[in-house]
Amino acid sequence: RVMLTRGSMSLGEKDGGLPPQSTVQTETQILNDSERLIHRYHQPEEGAKIQIALAPCSPFSVSTELMKETAGLARKHSVRLHTHLAETLDEDSFCIRRFGLRPLDYLESVGWLADDVWLAHGIHFNEDEIKRMGQAGLAVCHCPTSNMLLASGVCRTKELDSAGVHVGLGVDGSASNDGSNMMQEVRQALLINRLRYAADEVTHLDALYWATKGSAKALGREDIGELAVGKQADLALFSLDELRFSGSHDPLAALVLCGGHKAAAVMCAGKWLIKNEALLHLDQHAIMAAHQLSAKKLVS
């Protein structure tokens, strides 16, 4: 399953934004293409395999008008909204300097403080902001590896959870997470949260919840994220038949704490996609070769 976000950047360096001019598009181009993608690919029904969300990159890469127009377009077609927010202290300073508002206040001013929105990172929120987010039903995608690599800070996951904010787990992009391995991210989430909270306040079960049901809620989905009657049959199975797991007592704790990292089998909607650690319906070596070729073209 995939939730593809139509990203956008309209505010280039010459207009006071951060993105290079080569990466920006006009607002008309962005909105027209967003609507095209929704019509062509978005599946609104339960059990959907492909969904589209609209995702202006961040407050310092798009205009205020585009934020508002994107929200209106998303709600017209009942798709979700996504952006990066409160990732760094520099972002706070930018928003105050440019808009006279803290990031969450700016988000509210453009109509994004709502339950159809999930945010990447969400690190630098104060107590009042966390309370407001919970009341609005927002979600936050916690990206621990990226946050560590960039020295951005540590997401306040327990406070967000307690306030009613849906906390999911993400790997972020390849610019700040070279492995993009979700099981490793579960372990990183546990470890980084132990730096903020006491050992008994965040367990491996919390981290696994963020990666599964919490992430499903962040994406606005009730049909996935857990094994239960009436839900989609999505499974990832891991073998503990390795030296690193020898002598363990709790298989779930061992999977996280000993560093499980490769699924032995994967099922989606009752259909096996991976068995014996191998893709069943795609040529993995051909995919890797094509990927390597594309990567070389990017740097040539």
Specify the pLDDT at position 178.
87
Q: Give helix 64-77 / helix 27-41 axis angle, nearest 10°.
A: 20
Specify the pLDDT at position 117.
98
| Strand-strand pairing, 166-169 and 139-142 | parallel
Which residues on neighbouring strands pair with residue 4, listed in sequence order?
52
When pLDDT is averaged across residues 272-283 and rounded to a whole number, the result is: 95
What are the residue ranges of CATH 3.20.20.140 in the chain?
A: 2-228
State pTM to two decimals.
0.94
Specify the pLDDT at position 252.
95
What are the residue ranges of CATH 2.30.40.10 in the chain?
A: 233-300
When pLDDT is averaged across residues 73-94 and rounded to a whole number, the result is: 95
Specify the pLDDT at position 299.
87
pLDDT band of residue 276 (cuts 50, 70, 90) is very high
Task: Name the strand (E) or helix (H) holding 76.
Answer: helix 64-77
Which residues on neighbouring strands pair with residue 125, listed in sequence order?
none
Determine whether 197 is exposed, middle or buried from the number of CB atoms within 10 Å of its CB (0-12, 13-18, 19+).
Answer: middle
When pLDDT is averaged across residues 93-119 and rounded to a whole number, the result is: 95
CATH classification code of 2-228: 3.20.20.140
pLDDT at 16 over 90: no
When pLDDT is averaged across residues 243-260 and rounded to a whole number, the result is: 94
pLDDT band of residue 79 (cuts 50, 70, 90) is very high
Mean pLDDT of the chain: 95
When pLDDT is averaged across residues 108-134 and rounded to a whole number, the result is: 98
pLDDT band of residue 15 (cuts 50, 70, 90) is confident
Q: Considering the chain, what percentage of its residues have pLDDT values greater than 90? A: 89
pLDDT at 30 over 90: yes
CATH classification code of 233-300: 2.30.40.10
When pLDDT is averaged across residues 7-35 and rounded to a whole number, the result is: 93
- Encode pLDDT of 170-226 as tens digits: 999 888 998 899 999 999 999 999 999 999 999 999 999 999 999 999 999 999 999
Q: Are the C-beta atoms of 54 and 5 separated by less than 8 Å?
A: yes
Specify the pLDDT at position 212.
97
Terminal C-alpha separation, the chain: 33
